Structure 1
Amino acid sequence: MLRQLRCWLTTFLIATCVGNTWATATFNSVKSSFKPSDTLILSREGEVLQRLRTDTSVRRGQWVALADVSPALRTALVLSEDKRFYEHSGVDWQAASAAAWANLWNRKTRGASTITMQLAGLLDDDLKRGSGGRSVVQKLEQTVSAQLLERNWRKDQILEAYLNLVPFKGELVGIDALSRTLFGKAAHGLDAREAAVAVALVRAPNASPAVVAQRACAVLKSLPATDTDCEALDLFTTGALQRRDYGASEGIAPHVARQLTRTATPLQAKSNAITTTLSAPLQRFALQTLQQHLRELAGRHVEDAALVVLDNASGEVLAWVGSSGDLSSAAEVDGVTALRQPGSTLKPFLYGQAIAERRITAASLIEDSAAQIETAGGLYIPQNYDHQFKGWVSARTALAASLNVPAVRTLVMVSPDAFHKQLRKMGLPLKESGDFYGYSLALGSAEVSLLNLTNAYRALANGGRLSATTLTRNAKPVWHTALDPRAAFIVGDILSDPLARARTFGTDSVLATRFWTAVKTGTSKDMRDNWAVGWSQRYTVGVWVGNASGAPMWDVSGTTGATPIWAAVMGYLHKTLPSRAPKAPAGVVQTPVQFGAQEAARQEWFLQGTQQPSFAMTSGADYVDSTRARGPKGSNVLVKGMARITSPTSGTIIALDPDIPPRNQRVSFQAQGSNLHWLLNGKAFAKGTSAQWLPWPGRHVLQITDAKGNVLDEVRLEVRGAGVKGGPLAPTKPR
């Protein structure tokens, strides 16, 4: 009679449950619909680079296959929750009868709900247990639903789904989230003690540590060949329930993860994994190299750096290191996208524009001497960080050696507004107009991101053609011409020329590589930003070093800050891969050039039609700059033969670009007269008609006196930018 009633009830409820969509759900459909609370960022090789929590409402880990769950946990779960799991067909009628009999006599019992029945309740919202327990109808439906599951699913699939869907303590759902949060490990590594605590939480997820430990002790005793120390288990359980080791984000690409989750497509948002263009081995090497170099710079007040590697052909980002991680006090700031002053790294685009417009050639002579440019804010006087001006130098030397004055003179020819437009064509969306920046734009006074700057250099690598960068694969680049390909080729040839840069960086500079590369360094005002950006035949690499706070570094130049990281990454990329110089495009010719006394003869590249065999300046063409001297009563007069300071003039503002190591900088003072003594801020420091001064930021008074100390002339000047800390003529107090 009981058997007939059971069959009739089962048939009735099966008919009732057929309409439920979940009742016909397959194991694979349930697994595919499982959505972790984390998004995984994968490398192009399929390796997990970063895990980032994107769902704050619940804590789900990744779906764990049953084979990846520790045997101790599987055994403990079955023994604790459903001893006859592998024998029944969804409902343990023996346990159900015992539970009914116990309820009849008002005895406490654990109930007869099997793992399969519990899974049915997890799959169907209508069967979920309320605060007052399940109703009779819910229990009947749950019974039939469990039998339906057993007909369509294997036992291992039921157990696997249950372990991934069962709620544990608090927001934790599934064994992966529990294992990583409470025990700091994957589910396959759980031992018997950890498994016992996990199973105890299934039945009492919100119980106190003491109750959980008591239940875990009973579970542990049921496991075969297991030592049971319940007193130690009590301490262990208390500690585990207080632990929260499962961080919101972990990995080696945190900034990429945030970037992609912010801009995810609807399809990517539905997925718990996003495959990127990043190379996992390269990303690890780049991060390690960056952190190691910053440790070597300890004591120089620098804690942040960023790096990006681009594939020249596709624009794919192969490495993206946004910060120095634990070394930084602002690790959340993404140095790849942050706006910073690029210093001299803008010069290649300026010279490229001037060459493309046929204003200069690579052999044109530009004067590197004291320059005074009138602006609305007063005189703008650019200065080199070197012992002295170089005089007449070719554009090749001026760019490769990163001389500031020739760059400003070139910008005078091009105009700040035209150069501003050129920079925007190169993908640098400057905030202000060219007139706002003025002539300081030649020395990098605007703000750009490392990503945009590196991509602009990638355009030089591609013959002046620019396309957007991408972090996702299979994106087709859309190209546009940003610079004349002939000018781009000549600029690349200059930046790859070790002899041309030797005047500033020497012949054994870290900029030189054993394979073909073109590279430029840059340092912003007050040493707040340090850059090295360059390309090989296949890759473009950009590096920034500084402080996210904007604080200046101490004695860190382009060759000591960013360049060693750049060189190491380039070396890694070309361990086995060659890099060859590009072929000259049509419309470019190479001819021999003579320079007289200015530079050695050489072969030089020209735009077709601009070539000439000789570039030289005679002594009669030397640059002469008229200067003013102060008369006895302070009036500005020009007096031939009177002792006076001829350079600099009063009101001079010296703008220093610290792209060259600061201890090599000098400002040249010139005067006419005899038996002269130089004073700076009242302190004697030199004799004669000329003197060299290591500059110090601030306002200064420069004087010349006779042998008796009578002041013959004086000028007032201001130095803006970085200086050598503690120089001999530095002010005793900050100004």
Structure 2
Amino acid sequence: MQGWPLAALLWLALSAAPAHALQKFVEVQQEFRSSEASLYDRKGQLLQQIRLNPHERRLSWVALEDVSPALRNALVASEDRRFYQHSGVDWNAVAAAAWGNLWNSRTRGASTITMQLAGLLDDDLRRRNSPRSFSQKLSQVMVAQLLERNWRKDQILEAYLNLVSFRGELVGIHALSRVLFGKHPGGLSQREAAIAVALIRGPNATPARVTERACRILQEQHAGQECKDLESFALLALARTGSNSEVVVTTTAPQLAPHLARKLLRTPGQALRSTLDAGVQRFATDALQRQLAALTDRNIQDGAILAIDNASGDVLAWVGSSSTFSNAADVDGVVALRQAGSTLKPFLYEMAIEKKWMTAASLLNDAAINLPTASGLYIPQNYDKQFKGLVSVRTALGSSLNIPAVRTLVTVTPTAFFQRLQTLGFQLRESGDYYGYSLALGSADVSLLALTNAYRALANQGRYSGIRTALSDPPVKMTKAMDPGATFIIGDILSDRSARSRTFGLENALSTRVWTAVKTGTSKDMRDNWAVGYSDRYTVGVWVGNASGLPMWDVSGVTGAAPIWQEVMQYLHARDQLRQRIPQKPEGVVAQEIRYDDKQEAPRQEYFLAGTEQALIRTAKSDDIGVAIRYPTAGMLVALDPDIPPERQRIRFQASGLSNGSWRLDGKLLSAAEAAPKNRRNKNVRPVPVQNPQLALDWMPWPGRHVLELLDDKQTVLDQVRFEVRGAVERVAAPKNSPGSRKGA
């Protein structure tokens, strides 16, 4: 206030208008917005803060009683000694400032804390790069007097400490305390308080200047001994704001769920209560880091974990990265797309059992197989490059054998399996024909989120729903996606230690103290490791690998991801006070004692869908497994040659695994005569002889897109492929002395 005549200020005080618009204290408090958004767990515990306002750094509002007394005392002593005596304007200070200005002597200044708050509350009164105008100073005094009439002193002090700018982008005592001193404002010492108050008068002052002013404040409070080594202390604190007064460190708030926080938080000041459980989130993060630390020599840097409550769909843990282990910590491994490996096999076998094309006791041939495709032969191999011969579906799934899974997909068809995966929320980018038979072995890219939630549908007896990540979200709604009986049988297989012993042995990281069903997966070249499984209450999914896509070194799903899955699942149940339950057999499922006629596997009790049960499993019946159209292959493109007579061009429909059946093309049943019709232009041409028309049929192609179906003797569709024929259908002789012509391009 230096430079203004005392008479003018006295006139101002007498003419202050009481009707000036003024916010209430509670309104200022409610309108305050932190630059951070906060994510809380389901019980209200802070999980994560992220900054959404790039221009200012504010933290939550702090009540005056939660501010250190040392800071309150230093502020009043330095900025406004008569704060508790004046009514907004310190007329003694005004007079002293005017007198000092007259004699060119230095004084403390006349601006009170209340007047400074008036400037913080009203943008028109805020001091910019130039001094306030005469009218602004008059208005500032008027607002200060109104504040004193309508607010209590403690409210004025509290609002001031939360709104005042300190250094650079730091606004409010909470942000300053956390960044400069790494503590809550309630814990500031006398020395820290002096530095904080010194910054109010000179936010961008040099460390030496800040130290000088802070020491003066301490001396005025009879604490001059605190000036010792003050400059080095101030240098260290101010260094945390960088060379250009930009904050270079984060707050000390927990950083437990950065990826989910970035997904859910949108507005500065937002406080959202998520479905996460802080204890589960912290334990899962630690478990991931412990496992990666133990495998540092195996070229693994990244991982992700998802834990979901089966009934509600609430996500209890969302760990998107291994944090300090990763070179790509910002990549969210929960939603990133990776090759699924063997983790899709349970859904394939479930579909085959659901359709009653096979049972858990059916025999599949684990032997070399070559499948023709549009791009060449597909030759799948097992993980260990060995063949097991005839194995049951239970053993094939439990031990994760690849060739039986491919044989099963030949029966189910890639198109039908693709549609089922879409129903389960995978949102695959390509079609079933694009993936072909490799879809059985997880060639599709999936996210941990979609994969884990699909396993949750298995846990819920085939009922599927989305997930919840915020308590404010509506409850999930279940829809039927799979048969309850078939999902029960799949769960029983995935929980069977004996069924997986051929590949994994009896003792491994897939065993838990409670009933669980689990499947591992490893993608090509060991680039991705998966372990996904469920109990009666929870579903947990784990992925480990490298965000860069680099392969791991000799790490499979059971040695990489499975130990983490086991730890998290056992932690969930160790803290669970409810009694654990083994899934009960639903209606429509029959338990049957079985034996194999050639003793391929030991006698046991097996589960069947009603109507498919058998006591004796005969080896001969294994030939019925893998019924499929061998040629043409799905998606095949056939080009006709116009220079070859149409009656000499044929496509041979071939099928295997069926002793009696028929063909249907584009909805019409085919016979041998219809397959090779007489040429309308040459009636002397006979149909091409057909060998065994039920399994092999020579068909004269015509251009277009076609659907070929293989039917059994009951006209049930066993397999289906789509293919396309392009090119001319016949060559027409050209008239003499005229260019040749050609029909049907």
Q: Please give the TM-score of this superposition, normalised by the length of structure 2.
A: 0.79
1:427 to 406, 425, 434: 425
Q: What secondary structure does 2:379 align onto?
A: strand
* 1:585 to partner: Cα distance: 2.1
The residue type paired with residue 407 of structure 1 is A
Please tell me whether the aligned partners of residues 437 and 446 of structure 1 are also in contact (alpha carbons under 8 angstroms): yes
The residue type paired with residue 238 of structure 1 is L
Q: Deviations over 1:137-179 (max 9, x none)?
A: 2222222222222222222221111111001112111112222
Q: What secondary structure does 1:543 align onto?
A: strand
What is the rounded CA distance, in whole Å, between the counterparts of 1:213 and 1:116 in structure 2? 26
What is the correspondence of 1:574-593 to structure 2 with a 5 Å cutoff? 574-577=573-576, 578-593=579-594
Q: What secondary structure does 1:591 align onto?
A: strand
Please tell me whether the aligned partners of residues 180 and 246 of structure 1 are also in contact (alpha carbons under 8 angstroms): no
Q: Identify the residue that residue 236 of structure 2 maps to in structure 1.
A: 239
The residue type paired with residue 258 of structure 2 is P
* 1:573 to partner: Cα distance: 0.5
The residue type paired with residue 515 of structure 1 is V
Please tell me whether the aligned partners of residues 195 and 234 of structure 2 are also in contact (alpha carbons under 8 angstroms): yes
Q: Deviations over 1:621-678 (max 9, x none)?
A: 899xxxxxxxxxxxxxxxxxxxxxxxxxxxxxxxxxxxxxxxxxxxxxxxxxxxxxxx
Q: Deviations over 1:388-440 (max 9, x none)?
A: 32211111111111111100000000111111111111110111111111111
Q: Deviations over 1:107-165 (max 9, x none)?
A: 33231111111111101112112433222322222222222222222222211111110
What is the rounded CA distance, in whole Å, between the counterparts of 2:126 and 2:326 in structure 1? 47
Q: What secondary structure does 2:304 align onto?
A: strand
Q: Which runs of 5+ in 1 are unaligned?
A: 624-735
Q: Identify the residue that residue 600 of structure 2 maps to in structure 1.
A: 598
Q: Identify the residue that residue 282 of structure 1 maps to in structure 2.
A: 280
Q: What secondary structure does 1:574 align onto?
A: helix
The residue type paired with residue 559 of structure 2 is T
Please tell me whether the aligned partners of residues 517 and 579 of structure 1 are also in contact (alpha carbons under 8 angstroms): no
Q: What secondary structure does 1:379 align onto?
A: strand
Q: What secondary structure does 2:380 align onto?
A: strand
Q: Identify the residue that residue 522 of structure 2 maps to in structure 1.
A: 523
Q: What secondary structure does 2:54 align onto?
A: coil
Q: What secondary structure does 1:594 align onto?
A: strand
Q: Identify the residue that residue 501 of structure 2 maps to in structure 1.
A: 502
**Comparing 152-161 and 76-85, the one that deviates more:** 152-161
**Comparing 239-248 and 562-571, the one that deviates more:** 239-248
* 1:94 to partner: Cα distance: 1.5
Q: What secondary structure does 1:41 align onto?
A: strand
What is the rounded CA distance, in whole Å, between the counterparts of 1:619 and 1:471 in structure 2? 48
Q: Identify the residue that residue 567 of structure 1 maps to in structure 2.
A: 566
* 1:377 to partner: Cα distance: 2.5
Please tell me whether the aligned partners of residues 25 and 155 of structure 2 are also in contact (alpha carbons under 8 angstroms): yes
Residues 377, 177 of structure 1: CA spacing in aligned structure 2 closer, same or farther, 3 A cutoff? Answer: same
Q: Check if 1:221 corresponds to 2:200.
A: no
Q: Check if 1:162 corresponds to 2:160.
A: yes
Q: What secondary structure does 1:59 align onto?
A: coil
What is the correspondence of 1:52-63 to structure 2 with a 5 Å cutoff? 52-63=50-61
The residue type paired with residue 213 of structure 1 is T
Q: Identify the residue that residue 685 of structure 1 maps to in structure 2.
A: none
Q: Check if 1:412 corresponds to 2:416.
A: no
Q: Check if 1:12 corresponds to 2:15.
A: yes
Q: What secondary structure does 1:56 align onto?
A: coil
* 1:11 to partner: Cα distance: 5.8
What is the rounded CA distance, in whole Å, between the counterparts of 2:623 and 2:27 in structure 1? 84
Q: Deviations over 1:247-268 (max 9, x none)?
A: 289601111111113xx4xxxx
Q: Deviations over 1:163-220 (max 9, x none)?
A: 1100111211111222222223322232222211111110111222222221111112
Q: Which runs of 5+ in 2 are unaligned?
A: 242-247, 626-745
Q: Deviations over 1:27-79 (max 9, x none)?
A: 22111111111111111111111110100011112212222222221111111
Q: Check if 1:173 corresponds to 2:148.
A: no
Q: What secondary structure does 1:521 align onto?
A: strand
Please tell me whether the aligned partners of residues 371 and 378 of structure 2 are also in contact (alpha carbons under 8 angstroms): yes
**Comparing 425-434 and 588-597, the one that deviates more:** 588-597
Q: Identify the residue that residue 633 of structure 1 maps to in structure 2.
A: none
**Comparing 196-205 and 536-545, the one that deviates more:** 196-205
The residue type paired with residue 491 of structure 1 is I
Residues 73, 129 of structure 1: CA spacing in aligned structure 2 closer, same or farther, 3 A cutoff? Answer: same
Q: Identify the residue that residue 80 of structure 1 maps to in structure 2.
A: 78
Q: Identify the residue that residue 730 of structure 2 maps to in structure 1.
A: none
Please tell me whether the aligned partners of residues 46 and 254 of structure 2 are also in contact (alpha carbons under 8 angstroms): no
Please tell me whether the aligned partners of residues 14 and 145 of structure 1 are also in contact (alpha carbons under 8 angstroms): no
Q: Identify the residue that residue 532 of structure 1 maps to in structure 2.
A: 531
1:123 to 121, 124, 143: 121
Q: Deviations over 1:357-409 (max 9, x none)?
A: 11111111111111111222222221123373221111111111111110000
2:321 to 316, 319, 323: 323
What is the rounded CA distance, in whole Å, between the counterparts of 1:176 and 1:535 in structure 2? 44
Residues 105, 513 of structure 1: CA spacing in aligned structure 2 closer, same or farther, 3 A cutoff? Answer: same
What is the rounded CA distance, in whole Å, between the counterparts of 1:399 and 1:131 in structure 2? 73
What is the rounded CA distance, in whole Å, between the counterparts of 2:395 and 2:264 in structure 1? 42
What is the rounded CA distance, in whole Å, between the counterparts of 1:404 and 1:605 in structure 2? 23
Q: Deviations over 1:469-510 (max 9, x none)?
A: 121114211222221222111111111111211111111122
What is the rounded CA distance, in whole Å, between the counterparts of 1:260 and 1:381 in structure 2? 45
The residue type paired with residue 338 of structure 2 is R
Residues 504, 585 of structure 1: CA spacing in aligned structure 2 closer, same or farther, 3 A cutoff? Answer: same
User: How many residue pairs get matched?
Assistant: 611
Q: Identify the residue that residue 493 of structure 1 maps to in structure 2.
A: 492
The residue type paired with residue 502 of structure 1 is S
Residues 576, 175 of structure 1: CA spacing in aligned structure 2 closer, same or farther, 3 A cutoff? Answer: closer
Q: What secondary structure does 2:15 align onto?
A: helix
Please tell me whether the aligned partners of residues 34 and 269 of structure 2 are also in contact (alpha carbons under 8 angstroms): no
What is the correspondence of 1:232-631 to structure 2 with a 5 Å cutoff? 232-244=229-241, 246-247=249-250, 251-261=255-265, 264=266, 269=267, 271-386=269-384, 388-474=386-472, 475-577=474-576, 578-596=579-597, 597-617=599-619
* 1:19 to partner: Cα distance: 4.1
**Comparing 441-450 and 602-611, the one that deviates more:** 602-611
Q: Identify the residue that residue 650 of structure 1 maps to in structure 2.
A: none
Please tell me whether the aligned partners of residues 184 and 246 of structure 1 are also in contact (alpha carbons under 8 angstroms): no
Please tell me whether the aligned partners of residues 304 and 333 of structure 2 are also in contact (alpha carbons under 8 angstroms): yes
Q: What secondary structure does 2:101 align onto?
A: helix
* 1:618 to partner: Cα distance: 6.2
Q: Identify the residue that residue 200 of structure 1 maps to in structure 2.
A: 198
Please tell me whether the aligned partners of residues 306 and 324 of structure 1 are also in contact (alpha carbons under 8 angstroms): yes
**Comparing 567-576 and 82-91, the one that deviates more:** 82-91
Please tell me whether the aligned partners of residues 342 and 523 of structure 1 are also in contact (alpha carbons under 8 angstroms): yes
The residue type paired with residue 601 of structure 2 is E
What is the rounded CA distance, in whole Å, between the counterparts of 2:142 and 2:367 in structure 1? 93
What is the rounded CA distance, in whole Å, between the counterparts of 1:216 and 1:374 in structure 2? 83
* 1:9 to partner: Cα distance: 4.4
**Comparing 175-184 and 334-343, the one that deviates more:** 175-184
Please tell me whether the aligned partners of residues 120 and 164 of structure 2 are also in contact (alpha carbons under 8 angstroms): yes
* 1:558 to partner: Cα distance: 1.3
The residue type paired with residue 113 of structure 2 is I
Q: What secondary structure does 2:596 align onto?
A: coil
1:44 to 35, 39, 42: 42
Q: Deviations over 1:255-282 (max 9, x none)?
A: 1111113xx4xxxx36431111110111
What is the rounded CA distance, in whole Å, between the counterparts of 1:200 and 1:584 in structure 2? 73
The residue type paired with residue 159 of structure 2 is A
Residues 4, 202 of structure 1: CA spacing in aligned structure 2 closer, same or farther, 3 A cutoff? Answer: closer
What is the rounded CA distance, in whole Å, between the counterparts of 1:52 and 1:599 in structure 2? 57
* 1:343 to partner: Cα distance: 0.3
